[in-house]
Amino acid sequence: MRIIHLLVIGALIFAAAYVYRIKMESTARTERVLRLHAEIREQRDAIAALRSEWAKLDAPLRLQGLAERHLPLKPLTGTQYDQLKNLPERPPRLVKPGEPDPIGAMINTIEAVAGSDTVTGSVPQPGNKR
């Protein structure tokens, strides 16, 4: 009978130790969760502060004041526009009227050379060069 009593007492001590260990782990995890919640709250507060600071810095009236203070911009007036007769003369044409466009002729030549390199109905292979 004594052996059974010793085994039961040992099992109770083991069970109590196991339950105590589970309780300590759950307490540690609860503390960790609470710390994480506090950190999340701090980060959200920091984000809110940064957003409010950004809104203050991005305010249109503030930006307009800075632009007026630091940029040499002035509003346009109607007297800044000139008449067409005061514009400089158009530069001379390089191509006489009736002559073909030299750039268009070069493009047509390139297209003709590229078109004659391929055989009709064949598909060029990636590794083949002609």
Residue 99 predicted with pLDDT over 60:
yes
Residue 53's nearest CA partner among 33, 45, 1 is 45
92: confidence class by pLDDT, cuts 50, 70, 90: confident
pLDDT (mean) for 78-94: 80
pLDDT (mean) for 87-109: 82
6, HSE (Cβ side, Cα atoms, 13 Å) = 3
pLDDT (mean) for 50-77: 89
Per-residue pLDDT, 1: 82
| Nearest-angstrom CA–CA distance, 57 and 118 | 61
| Nearest-angstrom CA–CA distance, 105 and 57 | 56
Residue 112 predicted with pLDDT over 70:
yes
pLDDT (mean) for 21-43: 97
What share of the chain has pLDDT > 70, as a percent?
Answer: 89
Per-residue pLDDT, 73: 80
130: confidence class by pLDDT, cuts 50, 70, 90: very low
> What DSSP element (H or E) covers 36?
helix 2-57
Residue 50 predicted with pLDDT over 80:
yes
